A and B are shown apart, each in its own frame.
Chain A
Amino acid sequence: MKDKKKLVVIGNGMAGARTVEEILARGGGDQFDITMFGDEPTGNYNRILLSNVLNGSYREDEIYLNPLSWYRENDVTLLAGVRATGLLRRARLVFDEHGEAVPYDKLIIATGSRPFIPQMEGTYLADGAMKPGVFVFRSLEDCRKIAAYARGKKSAAVIGGGLLGLEAARGLQNFGLEVSVVHIGGHLMPAQLDPAAGEILKKSMESLGLQVLLKKNTKSILGADHVLGLRFADETALDCDMVVISAGIRANWEIAAGSGLTVERGIVVDDHMRSADDYNIYSVGECAQHRGQMYGLVAPLWEQAKVLADHITGRNPNAAYHGSKVATKLKVMGVEVASLGVSEPQQPEDEVIQFSDPKRGTYKKLIIRNGRLVGGILLGDISKAAYLMQSFDRNTPLPDERLGLLFDLGDPPQQVTFDEMSAATQICNCNGVSKGAIVACVQSGKRNAKAVMDATRAGMGCGSCKAMVREIVEWACGGMVEEDPSVHYYVPGVPLAKPDLIRAIQQHNLRSVSAVFDLLAGGKEDAASKPGLASLLKTLWHAEYEDEKDARFINERVHANIQKDGTFSVVPQIPGGVTSPAQLRRIADVAQRYHVPLVKLTGGQRIDLLGVRKEDLPKVWEDLGMPSGYAYGKSYRTCKSCVGSDFCRFGLGDSIALALKVEAEFQGFDSPHKMKLATAGCPRNCSEAMVKDVGAVAVEGGRWEIYVGGAAGSAVRKGDILCSASGHDEVLKYMGRFIQYYRENAKYLERTHAFVERIGIDRIRDVVVEDSEGIAERLDAEVAKSKAAYKDPWKEAYTSAVAKEYSPLLPVLS
């Protein structure tokens, strides 16, 4: 396009290059021919990482943001290693150091800053060059020179105790030098810290081998033709072989001032990042002064770059920069620091909250004005930084509980929260029930949690909000909550707790769900109680359980998981996630034959055929010729495994073989809720065995650690170690005992994580491992009976031909 305007950018540092990126992102490449001056001979690199290059943790090539190829690919002309020295605004020309002129229509000055070198005798040689051994620390080139000179030297001094000085000091330590930090002020990092925090940081730095000299005004650098030491204003001296000056920065504004633009500490810009004097000239980054502020951190710079790009491209002519709130998290020699806003109270009404633990190197201080955060320092422990920075940035009101701002004290008391919580706050995210709806329900007369849940459906989805619903009900009842006796029952429709219910079932020899209702519930059926009773009866009677189809939930009735459209998902058994080409081919054939709309890998290392019509189920199973994977049941589901010791170079135990044995042992086991298992061949835990209902993790020495009560669903919990077992058989024994104990003692729909927390792992271990109740043998025998009673329900279904069970249609006569 020949009408393209000429955009010239002076400066190829982080601000200049980022601004060009933002301009290109807004289609600026079609509007402008872009030329950039960069006085360093390279592409643009991340200056923040320079200290990491110095200390050797990064290579030079790792810190480049835009390599030279980036400029070519984006049609940006980079004048690398060319310094812009003059600006003639009337002619719209920029001159380089050789007198060559480059014309512009729009100009961006992003010249950044340079190190400030205080007045000290002996900094320079007679010819004006810096004395050998004296360095600044700003560019890659500086890095290289420092590294080259440091070899073989014994000691170094860093002048300046700011962030950059401390980072330089750390870099120098890595060359084996004795390093002293010489600081003119009374405490380290004055821009971020107050004196108390500075003192604690000083101790931390000293414990890392750094010498810190405060209140030392360096008067001269000693040595005739190379550095030998420093002399201070108080006439003391320090021997050193080299010195790095890191005493702050000064904006590079000369080119702007020389052309008559307004310059104070930096180039003065308006809210569009435009020069106050010339609308064709913008400035961004460390050289720009906006509303009296200068910024040396990247976050404000990114904001400025966006505003500038929006404005210069016309994408948003009203784009305005309003200044940045400065908050930063950083690491100084491994010590974490977060700093936000001011570091000292500035008005009489400012509140100061402070905690100091010098021995552990921890310091926290917040400055609060009108209930909002205006400043803060966190040193050593910055765990609350994310929350505080967000409050600071958004200027949100802080909770009255100030202690919780500095420390994690667990959950704040809910009562306070419920009062404050707005009525519209959604409590049950599955069914979309708000706090207001729950409160209204209580006010309408439902005065216990179960009644409210039944009426509003809160807590009836995944169930993870039940505890909160209960608490809101109690809160809304104001102490007038009515006890609902059914919470202690195994199922709501039979008024007996689980142990009493089991005793009654065994005593009266009740083998079917209807028999239980007849004898124990006065003949009154309760639909919602049926699946729980069916599960328990099957666990107690094994093969002698009298099955009644109407007692089963649809999934258990048709051995498949019902989907939102009334179709079903079919998951065949794939023990340990190990399959074969022949099996895969068969699955593929079935999927094609029955037009299965979605074939998906499950989280349990199996294959799910979704969208199967009910009437097709028996044929699908028969054609698959694989047993049910029980992906629908309140039962043992599957056992994941990692590749274990056969192939994995880290494997300590054969996790695949164990998973196959686990599947053979527990397949088809009914249980109060689903049970998902896993085996892991080493503590890297690739199969996530530690967050399974039951998991086994191989450890060195041929042993397995058995985890129980893990969860990684609507609740997330790392399992507790039940015991360690030697060999696969012992693993199966303890797994089986735990599973049987869970089957007999958990409430219906109580997952193992809730069960383990309710009973306590110590108690479970006593019973299951130590056999404190003398029931271990019986538990083992029950497991054996359940194992013997296993029949593949799919095979039963397609061989016994109860086809009408799967038919949706009755024949219509007329």
Chain B
Amino acid sequence: MQAFGLDIAIVRTRAGAVYAVEGKCPHRGGPLADGLIGGTTLICPLHAWKFDLETGQALFGECGIKTYPVRVDDKGHVLLTIDKP
């Protein structure tokens, strides 16, 4: 999704957890929302860079991604907290 000019990828894992992270891969700008997820690992679809959804850290290399606090309310709305850019 896009909000306040930011690209944000919101994902739900098979275990039911919801995460919101920066939408573009820091490597070549790949769309992370189209990536593969397993456990808390997200794999970018372009060149298979791997990130941890909890911390945003890359599993190799230095460049991580931003993570956003997120929760789902009882109506099923996804509530996302973004600092004002």
Contacts and interface: CB of A to CB of B under 8 A. Distances in A.
Contacts of A527: 36-39, 41-43, 50
B60 A455 contact: yes
Nearest to A563: B46
Contacts of A555: 45
Contact of A564 (B13, B46, B59, B77): B46
A486 to B, nearest CB: 15
A493 B43 CA distance: 14
Contact of A553 (B13, B36, B47, B59): B36
Nearest to A551: B36
A31 interface: no
B38 A808 contact: no
Contacts of B47: 431, 457, 460-461
A514 B36 contact: no
A554 B45 contact: yes
Contact of A530 (B3, B38, B45, B77): B38
B72 interface: no
B36 A524 contact: no
Given A455-B60, A456-B60, A812-B1, A525 B38 contact: yes
A21 to B, nearest CB: 47
Given A527-B43, A550-B14, A809-B2, A566 B60 contact: no
Nearest to A566: B31
Interface string B17-43: 000000000001111011111110111
Contacts of A557: 34
A406 interface: no
A553 B78 contact: no
Nearest to B8: A810
A526 interface: yes
Contacts of B77: 813
Contacts of B34: 554, 557-558, 562, 566, 614
A614 B33 CA distance: 12
Interface residues of A, number: 33
A564 B31 CA distance: 9
A524 B13 CA distance: 12
Contacts of B2: 809
A623 interface: no
Nearest to B12: A550
A160 interface: no
Contacts of B61: 457
B60 A454 contact: yes
B65 interface: no
Interface in A63-97: none
Given A562-B34, A566-B31, A528 B10 contact: no
B48 interface: yes
Contacts of B36: 527-528, 530-531, 550, 553-554
Interface string B50-65: 1000000001110000
Given A524-B39, A808-B33, A564 B14 contact: no
B38 A529 contact: yes
Contacts of A813: 77
A210 to B, nearest CB: 64
A460 B48 contact: yes
Nearest to A527: B38
A618 B33 CA distance: 19
Contacts of B50: 527-528
B37 A528 contact: no
The residue among B2, B10, B42 with the most chain A CB atoms within 10 A of its own CB is B2
A562 B28 CA distance: 13
Interface in A743-777: none
Contacts of B29: 565-566
A527 B47 CA distance: 14
Contacts of A524: 39
A121 B14 CA distance: 104
Interface string A598-633: 000000000000000010000000000000000000
Contacts of A810: 1, 10, 78
A274 B29 CA distance: 60
A457 B45 contact: no
A512 to B, nearest CB: 11
Given A530-B36, A812-B1, A562 B46 contact: yes
Interface in A520-567: 524-531, 550, 553-555, 557-558, 562, 564-566
B63 to A, nearest CB: 12
A531 B50 CA distance: 15
A457 B33 contact: no
B14 A457 contact: no
B41 to A, nearest CB: 5
Contact of A812 (B3, B13, B41, B42): B3
A795 B78 CA distance: 32
A524 B35 CA distance: 18
A554 B47 CA distance: 12
Contacts of B10: 810
A553 B1 CA distance: 20
A338 to B, nearest CB: 46
B31 A514 contact: no
A809 B39 contact: no
A514 B39 CA distance: 11
Contacts of A808: 1, 31, 33
The residue among A531, A554, A812 with the most chain B CB atoms within 10 A of its own CB is A554
Nearest to A809: B1
A614 B31 CA distance: 11
Contacts of B78: 810
A564 B38 CA distance: 23
Interface string A460-493: 1100000000000000000000000000000001
A564 B37 contact: no
10 contacts: A456-B60, A457-B61, A526-B41, A527-B39, A530-B36, A553-B45, A555-B45, A565-B29, A566-B31, A813-B77
Given A454-B60, A562-B46, A809-B1, 13 more contacts: A454-B59, A457-B61, A525-B39, A527-B42, A528-B38, A528-B43, A530-B36, A550-B36, A554-B35, A555-B45, A808-B31, A810-B78, A812-B1
